[in-house]
Every structure is written in C-alpha cells, then in structure tokens.
C-alpha cells in the first residue's frame, strides 16, 4: 500500500466523465424531518485506499467544521482527529454556484471550468473532478450558511488509478422525499429569489414529472424535474414573510410528495440596495447581497452644477459601499439608459457617462451600463427619490456584478453651521436646519440635533421648513464631533429623514487672568506679600472656579526660575478670585514686578499675566 505522499508528485490525470448525481451507497442517510432540522457531516472514500486515508465519516461530535465563502467560492475546513481536510468549490468565472452538476472541474477555476480542490489528507495537484451541489444557501450579506454537495476527484496518472469520492453537508436539510431550499432567504422587494427542490430518487431511476412552488395556497410556478432537481426564480414576492413549499407531482416510479416549508423574508425596497456578483469578480467576490434600513444607513449626494452626478453611499456593519452615476460632463443626470459608462477620473467626461461601484476596501477602474428608472428632486434640486439598476465590470477581470439601488425619501434634511466652536461659547454659533419635501407646502414638525453617540443636544420646531438650533454653553467638550439633524414629521404623509453628518471642532476656551497690582506701602505695613488675580473665560467673562493659580516675583534676566522666596499658589473661588500671601523679605519689592499663571485643563487653554509693584 503506497503512502499518500506518493500522489503529490504525479502528473497527468483522466477527466471524469460524469457527475455524481446521487448519494454514495456507503453514506448514512438522515431520516425525514421538519424544515428546521439540519445535518453536518463529511464522508469520504479513497479507492483504492492510499496510505491511512481509506474511508471515514466526521461529524461535529468529533471534528471541527468551518465553512466560509460566497456563491462564488465555498471553502470548507474540517479538522478531524486523524488530520484536516480543506475542500474548495468555485464557480466558473462569470457564474455563481447553484444547485446542479459540474463536470470538468480543475484545481483552479477559470473562464472555461469550475474549480474543485481537495487538500490535507489527500492531495493530487493535477486532479480533475466533478461535483454536484444539492443545496447552497447564503445570508443577506452573501456569506454561506448551508451547503450540501457530493464530489469526486481522480488522479488518473497514478498506477492504482486512485479516485477520491466524498460528501460534504453543512447545516444541510436532512433527507426527505422532497426538500426545498432558498439561495438567499432574505431579499428585497423585486430582487430575484431562487428556490430549488431536490426530489429523492429512492434508489431507482431519476425522478421525472413537475414541481409546483407554492407560497401558502398560491402557486408561484411549476417547473419540470431534471436529474432530481427543479429550480424556480421569482421577483414577484410581496414585502413580508413567505413559507415556500415544493409540491412534487410524482411519476410512474415515484409517489407525489410535498416538502416542508422554507421561510423567505422580503424586505421593504424604498431604501435598499442589492447586488449579484459573479465568480471572478473583484468587488462582490461572487456574493449575492442585500442592504436595507435600519441595519444599513443610506445617504445621497449631488455633485457640481447642474447636478450631472448622483452618489449613493450605503454604510453597513461590514463596511461602506459607494455608487456613483453620472451623465456626460455638464449635463444633468435624468431618467433613462446610459450605455458605455466608465469609472476613469473624473468619473465621466464630455463623451461618455460615468459609473463607479466599490466598497469594503475593493474598488477598480472599469465600467458598464446603468438605467435610472426614477429620479425626483425637491424645489432646491436635492435628490429625494433615486432608483437605478446597474452592471459593472473591472477592467482586469472577466466577471462582473449587477444590482439595484433605491433611495426614497419624501423629505430631505440638511444641516449647516460653523465648523469650529469655542468651548463655553457654543451658543454664539447657532446651527440652521432646512427640511424640504416633494409636497408643495413646507414640512412641519420638529428637528433634533444629536452627537455621534445619538444623544440629543438640541430640539427645535420647524417654521416654513426651517429651524435654528442653539447649543448651550459647555454642551460639547473640546475635540471633534459629528452632528446630525433628524426631522420628525407631525403628519403621516411625510417620512422622517436625517442629514449627512457635519464635522465640528470645539476648541479649548480662551482664558484671561486679571491681576491686581501690589502696593509697596501695604507690604511695608503688613510685612506680607499678598497677590490677587481673577481667572475668567475670555469670550463670556464667566468666572472659573476651583482652578489653581500660581504667583511669584519676576526675576531679572539671567536669573534662574523655580520655587523660591515670594512664591505661592491659591485656588479660585466662585467668583474666580485667587489670593495668597507670603512673608515679606524686608527688602523693597522688585522693580521687575510679579506674575500669575494658570496651567490650563482639558477644557480651557492656560494663561498668564504680569503685574507691577506700585508705591
């Protein structure tokens, strides 16, 4: 029996002629169960056995399973007591992994072949194989959450013609006469939703007949069964939760049967984006993803005059996406179809429209086409409604992505004000909030100004669509702040809206020390050197209490400084006064005078002042 290592250096392999279309006979099938029941396992057989590989089955009871990736590429890592397995499935460039059979798979996917790579306890670098995906499901972010596949690799150049067969099931539905799965159980209204029914062969011929896909009692569509599968895609599901059931008609060898329901959630599309990326696409990485509020924040901007471009940003927990749509330079973006759009700076020119799609650290020069289905502005020209579909390709990649973005706001809130404030005097720089709408009359209601922590710092009532928010003194601490204004309507015909953030820098407050002169006659009488000074905020004149002020005589040039005769310190009182005394030395006060200092704190700048000794 040869060791596994002997297969790592062998080249030349025979291409397998057919895909695996049924569970291998030595696999243990699960019992029928409800839609919530799933199974995770990895079963394999190396025939003939090489080294200590042989055959085996791993489950979460004895092994660790990690399955990651998207519909572009799925990677499974199974850490077993005997060693690890690493299996990767990748769709042919320009496609996605969907249920069905894949022949001619190579270690690395390309525009001409899907990818299948097995590593760990079995390696054959020149292997070619086939695989069949029975179920693949991703969440709203495009991450794989369920996967069910059988696969086969042959190392045809090896003397013993080693063939590796395996089955990987990860959160996969348990076996039943009919199983229905959704490719993306969370979608947006009018986004394509795809369902696949797997009809069990039951040890006989492949089932024929049809599968009806039902939403409750409503038949969505009826599809013929091919090689035990039927797939149906629809864009017509209404907003809400749907229980989708697959009902199999049966044939001469297979009895009719119905699946347990799978849940499909369709989200409101008014503020949303979805994209479907292909294997080999640099930006979307083969995922189908969707974004909606409140888990994602949507903002829209117009650029230049007369608004020849619209930029939409979608800020989500995993990062931000930016989409920019532009007409020819100098021409207003309007509803219509825009072909041969390019992303090269400045994103559009006088001969071609502009299109850019990028996010989560991935962006590229490229281009494509887009269709603006709806574009409405308010009386000031600001965009309130935007609906566009797009197709985009990076220049260096053969695959691309497509999607749709929708921004629908019956109101738009803008926030303006000073970019810098002085601590303690914030109330001298009020903020202006403007709310516009598609309605002919100005919106009414209230606006709230809040900081980055969401805490309100000001609330005001709209008048003719505008309001002024004045902060209180000392309301914002020194440092950088992001303020947002949110409009709350008092009528059901309008929707709330939030402004883009306004960056504000609050500077430390300026301070003033007013120092009293010291009379030489008083020193002679009391034999005390008594210093007094008042510390205030320069802009407001407010006394600053509980600050320590230091006093001391000014020394002639060249004489060192430091604690010495005639120096003392005191804490300011409620009126800002600090006063302290030290014994007089008997000598006349210095003609150089004396000084008072305050070292500052986290809210106010330090300050100092000089005063004279007078007769």
DSSP for 101-139 reads EEEEEBSS--SS--EEEEEES---TT-EEEEEEEEEEE-
Euclidean distance between CA atoms 22 and 18, whole angstroms: 12
Angle at 496 between CA 492 and CA 498, to 5 degrees: 170
Tokens 């069990």 belong to residue: 200
The tokens for 89 are 């499935």
Q: So what's the pLDDT on residue 52?
A: 65
Euclidean distance between CA atoms 103 and 19, whole angstroms: 6
The tokens for 216 are 């409750």
Give tens-digit pLDDT for 400-448. 999 999 998 778 888 999 999 999 989 889 999 999 887 777 899 999 9
Judged on CB neighbours under 10 Å (0-12, 13-18, 19+), 392 is buried
Euclidean distance between CA atoms 592 and 595, whole angstroms: 10
Euclidean distance between CA atoms 584 and 527, whole angstroms: 5
The tokens for 274 are 């979805």
The tokens for 417 are 């004000």
Tokens 């004396």 belong to residue: 594
Mode of pairing for the β-strands spanning 144-154 and 128-138: antiparallel
Euclidean distance between CA atoms 354 and 513, whole angstroms: 59
Q: What are phi and psi of 333, to 5 degrees?
A: -70, 130
Lowest-confidence pick of 31-40, 220-229, 230-239, 486-495: 31-40
Q: Is pLDDT larger for residue 615 or for residue 355?
A: 355
The tokens for 189 are 């209204």
Give tens-digit pLDDT for 55-78. 899 999 999 999 999 999 999 999
Q: So what's the pLDDT on residue 519?
A: 87
* In contact, 145 and 5? CB cutoff 8 Å: no
**CB environment 77-89: b (16+ within 10 A), e (fewer):** bbebeeeebbbbb
Give counts: helices (H), strands (E), the chain: 1, 47
Give tens-digit pLDDT for 299-339. 887 765 557 889 999 988 888 999 999 988 878 899 999 99
Q: Which of 12-21, 379-388, 556-565 has the highest mean pLDDT?
A: 379-388
Find the farthest-apart pair of alpha carbons in the chain and give their distance in angstroms, rounded: 124
Q: Residue 399 above 70 pLDDT?
A: yes
Q: Residue 591 above 60 pLDDT?
A: yes
H helix or E strand, kind and range, residue 595:
strand 594-598
Euclidean distance between CA atoms 146 and 183, whole angstroms: 9
DSSP state of 426: G
Q: So what's the pLDDT on residue 46?
A: 84
Q: What are phi and psi of 347, to 5 degrees?
A: 75, -10
Give tens-digit pLDDT for 543-578. 999 999 999 888 775 444 444 567 899 999 999 999
Q: What are phi and psi of 518, to 5 degrees?
A: -110, 125
Give percent above pLDDT 90 in the chain. 60
Give tens-digit pLDDT for 470-496. 999 899 999 999 999 999 999 877 888
Structure confidence at residue 128 as a pLDDT band (50, 70, 90)? confident
Please give the mean pLDDT across all residues of the chain. Answer: 86
DSSP state of 470: -
Sheet holding 73-80, edge to edge: 64-69, 73-80, 83-90, 115-120
* In contact, 384 and 438? CB cutoff 8 Å: yes
The tokens for 530 are 């008594």
Q: Residue 468 above 90 pLDDT?
A: yes
């Amino acid at each position: 029996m040869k060791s596994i290592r002997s297969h790592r250096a062998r080249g030349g392999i025979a291409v397998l002629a057919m895909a695996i279309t049924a569970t291998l006979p030595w696999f243990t099938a699960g019992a029928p169960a409800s839609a919530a029941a799933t199974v995770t396992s990895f079963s394999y057989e190396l025939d003939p056995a090489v080294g200590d590989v042989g055959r085996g089955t791993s489950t979460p009871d004895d092994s660790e399973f990690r399955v990651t990736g998207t519909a572009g590429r799925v990677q499974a890592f199974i850490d077993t007591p005997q060693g690890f397995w690493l299996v990767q499935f990748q769709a042919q460039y320009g496609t996605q992994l969907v249920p069905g059979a894949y022949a001619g798979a190579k270690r690395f996917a390309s525009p001409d072949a899907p990818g299948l790579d097995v590593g760990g306890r079995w390696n054959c670098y020149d292997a070619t194989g086939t695989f069949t995906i029975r179920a693949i499901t991703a969440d709203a972010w495009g991450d794989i959450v369920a996967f069910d596949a059988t696969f086969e690799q042959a190392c045809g150049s090896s003397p013993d013609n080693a063939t590796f067969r395996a089955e990987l099931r990860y959160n996969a539905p348990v076996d039943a006469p009919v199983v229905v799965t959704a490719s993306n159980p969370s979608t947006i209204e009018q986004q394509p939703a795809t369902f696949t029914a797997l009809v069990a062969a039951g040890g006989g011929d492949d089932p024929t007949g049809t599968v009806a896909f039902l939403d409750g009692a409503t038949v969505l569509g009826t599809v013929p069964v091919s090689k035990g599968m039927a797939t149906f895609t629809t864009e017509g599901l209404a907003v809400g939760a749907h229980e989708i059931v697959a009902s199999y008609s049966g044939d001469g060898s297979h009895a009719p049967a119905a699946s347990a329901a799978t849940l499909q959630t369709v989200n409101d599309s008014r503020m949303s984006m979805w994209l479907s990326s292909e294997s080999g696409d640099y930006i979307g990485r083969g995922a189908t993803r969707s974004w909606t509020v409140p888990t994602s924040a949507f903002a829209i901007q117009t650029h230049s005059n007369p608004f020849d471009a619209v930029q939409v940003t979608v800020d989500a927990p995993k990062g931000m996406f930016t989409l920019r749509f532009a007409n020819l330079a100098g021409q207003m973006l309007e509803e219509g179809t825009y072909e041969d759009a390019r992303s090269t700076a400045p994103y559009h020119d006088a001969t071609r429209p502009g299109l850019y799609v990028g996010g989560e650290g991935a962006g590229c020069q490229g281009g494509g086409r887009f269709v603006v289905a709806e574009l409405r502005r308010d009386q000031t020209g600001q965009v309130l409604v935007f609906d566009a579909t797009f197709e985009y390709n990076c220049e260096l990649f053969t695959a691309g992505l497509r999607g749709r973005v929708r921004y629908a706001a019956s109101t738009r809130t803008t926030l303006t004000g000073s970019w810098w404030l002085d601590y303690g005097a914030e109330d001298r720089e009020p903020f202006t909030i403007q709310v516009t709408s598609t309605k002919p009359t100005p919106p009414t209601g209230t606006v709230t100004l809040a900081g980055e922590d969401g805490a309100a710092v000001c609330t005001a009532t709209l008048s003719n669509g505008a309001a002024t928010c004045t902060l209180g003194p000392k309301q914002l601490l020194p440092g950088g702040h992001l303020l947002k204004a949110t409009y709350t309507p008092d009528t059901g015909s309008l929707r709330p809206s939030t402004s883009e953030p306004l960056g504000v820098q609050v500077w430390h407050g300026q301070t003033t020390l007013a120092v009293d002169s010291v009379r030489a006659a008083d020193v002679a009488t009391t034999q005390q050197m008594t210093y007094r000074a008042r510390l205030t905020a320069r802009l407001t004149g407010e006394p600053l209490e509980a600050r320590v002020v230091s006093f001391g005589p000014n020394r002639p040039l060249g004489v060192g400084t430091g604690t010495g005769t005639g120096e003392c310190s005191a804490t300011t009182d409620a009126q800002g006064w600090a006063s302290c005394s030290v014994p007089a030395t008997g000598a006349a006060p210095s003609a150089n005078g004396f000084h008072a200092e305050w070292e500052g704190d986290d809210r106010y700048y330090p300050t100092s002042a000089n005063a004279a000794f007078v007769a």
